[in-house]
Structure 1
Amino acid sequence: MSQYYRLIRHSGNQDLFRVVEMSVAALLSDRPFHIQAEGLRGTGKTTIMRAARELLPPIKRIKNCLYNCDPAQPHCPLHRFLSPEEVTAIGVEEVPRPFLEISQAAKVGSVVGSIDLAKLTDPINPLAALLPGTIPQAHRGIIFIDEINRLADTAPELADVLLDVMGTRQGRIQIEEPGLQVVELPVAVSIWAASNPDEDPGPLSRIRKQLADRFDLTVVMGRPDDYQAVVDILAGQNSRISPEVAPGQRGGTLADCIVSPDLRQALAQIYIDFGLESLRGAQAMEMAACLNAILSRRNMATIADLVQVAPLALAHRASGEIITAIIDYLNGLLQIPVQDQAQTAVSKRPLAAQTGSRWKEFWRVFHRWLAAVLAKRPQVSYSSNTGSGSRGHGAGARIIDPLNTTIIAPPKPAAPITSLPDEQLVTRDTNSHG
């Protein structure tokens, strides 16, 4: 049995197993899906992610292509303009799907690409050519970055490269070297990352919020919470292994997944009513819901799938209070007819989004009630100029709306105590006879 399925699963890491398999299923549909695992050191984040490379099926590429060109869609500088007949003449080979890593010591040239020194210094046929870096060579595969929070802090230029790669579902990379033509390449690669947010320099969302938002899901790893899990980990074997099916064999591809209309409506209302900053959050939730359905061997994503993945998509994008409110809203949708969900969404808005409208509605109701009371009996009205009261009738009474009342400041601004004369600083008790 593979090492991946021998790893111990417990309540603290089961979400990461699920998310890793989601990303693999997305990759088999040619859709990058970026994931990040945050948690204390020693909880097994890196171990799980590295072991998951066993789940990756091989790919077919043009023979000896360092860029992993798909024979049906060549994209690299050497093969992008070849005809199908020319590709056939070169040949096709099957190779392991790429799983490469970017280390803390990586440089831009090694990650993006640089001049191929071996060809340049060839004594017989020197040639100025590009050597693709880690990202171009990982096309159609996965790049793993351990301690990405440290990398973003110490190597901001690499963080900028990742922003381009992760910016769209098919990212892009640009290789520039003096004396050579600029090469721009499409890249389809999933970024997997791990970090220890409790250690310097802190969580990625604080260091580079824009980069953190590029991750579709973020999993917070926890410690095992039962004795048997610890015993199994120490023994190095899983006493609770159950037969598994590879992610690519469960429920089809993303192209086969149907998104229910009420799910999309719920995502739209979550984005607007709960004030999400980035539309990527809604997009990540939709894709994750589809992947969750695929792993469950279903071809339709529903709100029930959304309930399972929403906390992982929002962990690095919203506060705990907002996430709780969103989950309450989604759970409410599971218990009511679809036609009533739009109205329910309004009542499920978080407090911050409802405060203004609630007070306005309260005042409108109170205003109508008080006007009705004043119309039935006389009231005392007061003059703001004289301060004297006079008897009046309810029909002529005027109700002041506190939400629309202009507050007038005191006529004189407060003065610093150091600028006051001595007689204003010390007072004398006039009743004293001492």
Structure 2
Amino acid sequence: MKKYSQLIRHTGNNFLFDLIDISILGTLANTPIHFHAEGLRGTGKTTIIRAAKDILPKIKRIKGCIYNCDPSNPHCPEHRDLSNKDIEQLGTELIDMPFLEISPSAKKGTVVGSIDLKKISSREEPEAALLLGTIPRAHRGIIFVDEINRIADTSPELADILLDVMGTKPGRIQIEEVGLPTVVIPVQVSIWAASNPDEEPGPLEDIRRQLSDRFDFTVNVERPVDTAVLKMILDGNNEKYNDSYLIEEKKEKLLRAQAIIDDFSLSDEIKSILASMYVDFGLESLRSIEAIMLGAKIRGALLGKNPDIGEIIFLARLALRHRMDAKNLNELIKHLEQRRHQPEKKSEAAMKSNDCDLRKAVLQKNNDQKIGTNSGKLKNKFFSPLEKMMSILTNKFSSSAGGKNNRPISSDPKDMDIKAPSKKAISLKQLELKDYVKKEEELRR
């Protein structure tokens, strides 16, 4: 079997890797995350899921407890009534996070539990006791269910058991055997499932829709389409290749994320978007919104940032794929994308408005400059000769007046010397052209 370090991520299986990380961290944080991987045979669904066992961190339990009791929250009939002091005396131990499987041929007794025949037939101390099944032994761990569509079709009893386990978080399991009291145990286990919807009996949502809805996320796994990726997959088949450093680094990353998961939460804006999404698009199951919220918080811890609408879009595709038809899902995603780009559009509109105002101001300034330049040209063209003529006359008059007396020219009429013209004034009509049109040289005389 392939090791996790030998797996190659590509566009066809990338989302499955993401969901595995989310589910493992959710399990560590005492919040199971269930997902269902669908895809054609040979796409690597089962290989990836089973290889993920390599990156499961260790968990702490009460020493020797077959129910995997958490020392801070014991749940089994043997330890749930013990005090903290009693638990300290029993001691604790680290074990690998449980990873168990349920096959299509499994029976109810092996999944839930049955009478322990070894103890009841003991010659020394015969006693009626339970032999725990797969689900109670996987508490605080993972259960992988392959070909879940076949189980839903051929084993309705097992499907009902899974409904109880996945119905709430944590779930519950009830063990009933003749001659023994009924035992109800809370179980905290994440269900990972795989199936091929193109083979009999068909997609899970068409066989047992209620069971399909219990899965928080559904992902479609596709085959690689890049020859370079395929070559990497073939090269990775070498069993000698095993990078244990990458596996340990992955475990440490999950443990670091577990320590900070409570530091991340959804903003009121994101919650409002989810609420309007549920109401406006008429979503049938509230579990879809709860799955998105929970997944966003876990993704925040993995990525080290508070969830934004981009994470909501990513998770909505996986949480609603098995709950909505493709057309409505595409419309919902399109709506979220529009909400995502609204601030950018507003800022772009503001920038365009500012640019428009700036262009108007520049054009107005240029027009003013052109008008000023043109008016200056007109002024120079028509008024410069007149100004020159007036300047010459003023200078001539000033010099002639200054020659007779040295009094400065005054603007007061009383101080001015007034002389009558030497000749009688006549009309312009009586003058010839040469008498009133003078050249500049003639004026200087």
- The verdict on a shared fold, with TM-score over 0.5 as the criterion, is yes
Match of residue 319 from structure 1: 325
Which one of 252, 272, 278 corresponds to residue 285 of structure 2? 278
Q: Map residues 255-274 of structure 1 onto 2, 5 A cutoff.
A: 255-274=262-281
Q: Are positions 1:302 and 2:302 aligned together? A: no
The question of whether the paired residues in 2 share the 8 Å contact of 1:43 and 1:223 is answered with yes
Q: Give the root-mean-square deviation of aligned CA atoms.
A: 2.0
Aligned to 2:254: 247
The one-letter amino acid of 2:79's match is H
* 1:184-240 deviation per Cα after TM superposition (whole angstroms, max 9, x unaligned): 11100000000000000001111110000011110001110100111111222699x
Q: For structure 1, which segment, 102-111 or 195-204, has the greater mean C-alpha deviation from structure 2 after superposition?
A: 102-111
SS of residue paired to 1:126 = coil
Match of 1:196 in 2: 196
| Amino acid paired to 2:111 | V
Could you say which residue in structure 2 is the equivalent of 1:335? Answer: 341
Gaps of 5+ in 1: 341-434
Q: By how many angstroms is 1:136 displaced?
A: 0.4
CA–CA distance in structure 2, aligned partners of residues 293 and 323 of structure 1: 24
Asked whether the 8 Å contact 1:251–1:297 carries over to 2, the reply is no
What residue is the counterpart of 2:94 in the other structure?
94
Partner SS state of residue 342, structure 2: coil
* CA distance 1:297–1:331, shift in 2 (3 Å): same
Residues 251, 296 of structure 1: 8 Å contact kept: no
User: Hey, what does 2:44 align to over in structure 1?
Assistant: 44
Partners of 1:13 and 1:174 lie apart in 2 by 36
Counterpart residue number, 1:354: none
Distance 2:88 2:120 in 1: 29
Task: Give the corresponding residue for 2:32.
Answer: 32
Is 1:114–1:177's contact at 8 Å kept on the other side of the alignment?
yes
Contact kept? 2:25, 2:258, Cα under 8 Å: no
- Quickly say closer, same or farther: Cα 1:138–1:182, change in 2 above 3 A: same
- 1:105 Cα deviation from its structure 2 partner: 1.4
Query: In structure 2, what is the equivalent of residue 59 of structure 1?
Result: 59
* Whole-angstrom distance in 2 between the partners of 1:250 and 1:187: 23
Give the whole-Å Cα distance in 2 for the aligned partners of 1:190 and 1:118.
30
Is the contact made by 2:29 and 2:258 (CA closer than 8 Å) also made in structure 1? no
1:263–1:303 contact (8 Å) kept in structure 2: yes
Matched ranges for 1:268-417 at <5 A:
268-298=275-305, 300-337=306-343
Q: Distance in 1 between matches of 2:299 and 2:333?
A: 17
Question: Counterparts of 2:189 and 2:167 in 1: how far apart (Å)?
Answer: 11
SS of residue in 2 equivalent to 1:36: strand
1:126 aligns with 2:126: yes
- Aligned partners of 2:264 and 2:14: how far apart in 1? 24
Amino-acid identity (%): 52
**Shift in CA distance, 67/220, structure 1 to aligned 2, threshold 3 Å:** same
SS at match of 1:334: helix
Structure 1 Cα separation of the partners of residues 232 and 343 of structure 2? 45
TM (norm. structure 2) is 0.72
Paired with 1:316 and 1:123, the residues of 2 have a C-alpha distance of 54
The letter for the 2-side match of 1:135 is I
Q: 1:37 aligns to what SS in structure 2?
A: strand
User: What secondary structure does 1:114 align onto?
Assistant: strand
Q: Whole-Å Cα distance in 2 between the matches of residues 285 and 3 of structure 1?
A: 30
Taking the TM superposition and a 5 Å limit, the aligned residue runs for 1:4-23 are 4-23=4-23
Letter in 1 for 2:74: P
Judge conservation of contact 2:39–2:222 (CA < 8 Å) in 1. yes
Tell me the TM-score normalized by structure 1: 0.74
- Secondary structure of 1:258's counterpart equals coil
Change (3 A) 1:331 1:81: same
Do 2:153 and 2:207's aligned partners in 1 also have CA atoms closer than 8 Å? yes
Give the drift of 1:250.
4.3
Amino acid at match of 2:196: N
Displacement of 1:337 in angstroms is 4.7
2:349 corresponding residue in structure 1:
none
Q: Which amino acid aligns with 2:328?
A: I
For residues 137 and 110 of structure 1, what CA distance do their matches in structure 2 show? 11
Rounded Cα–Cα distance in structure 2 between residues aligned with 1:60 and 1:24: 15
Write the letter of the residue equivalent to 1:48. Answer: I
Structure 2 vs 1, CA of residues 116 and 251 (structure 1 numbering), >3 Å: closer, same or farther? Answer: closer
Contact 1:165 1:173 in 2 (8 A): yes
Conservation of the 8 A alpha-carbon contact between 1:216 and 1:280: yes
Letter in 2 for 1:15: F
1:287-306 per-residue CA deviation (whole Å, 9 max, x = no partner) reads 122222222122x1121110
Q: Which residue of 1 aligns with 2:73?
A: 73
Tell me the amino acid that sits aligned with residue 186 of structure 2: P
Q: Compare the two structures and name the one with the higher helix fraction.
A: 2
Residues 281-322 of structure 1, C-alpha deviation per residue, up to 9 Å, x if partnerless?
A: 111111122222222122x11211101111111110001111
Whichever residue aligns with residue 304 of structure 2, its letter is R
**Conserved? CA contact 2:28–2:258, under 8 Å:** no
| Alpha-carbon spacing, 1:25–1:253, altered in 2? closer, same or farther (3 Å) | farther
Structure 1 distance, partners of 2:43, 2:77, is 42
Change (3 A) 1:251 1:191: closer
**CA deviation after TM superposition for structure 1 residue 170, in Å:** 0.4
Distance 1:248 1:237, change over 3 A: farther
Q: Which blocks of at least 5 consecutive residues in structure 2 are unaligned?
A: 347-445
1:169 aligned residue: 169
C-alpha separation in 2, matches of 1:38 and 1:78: 39
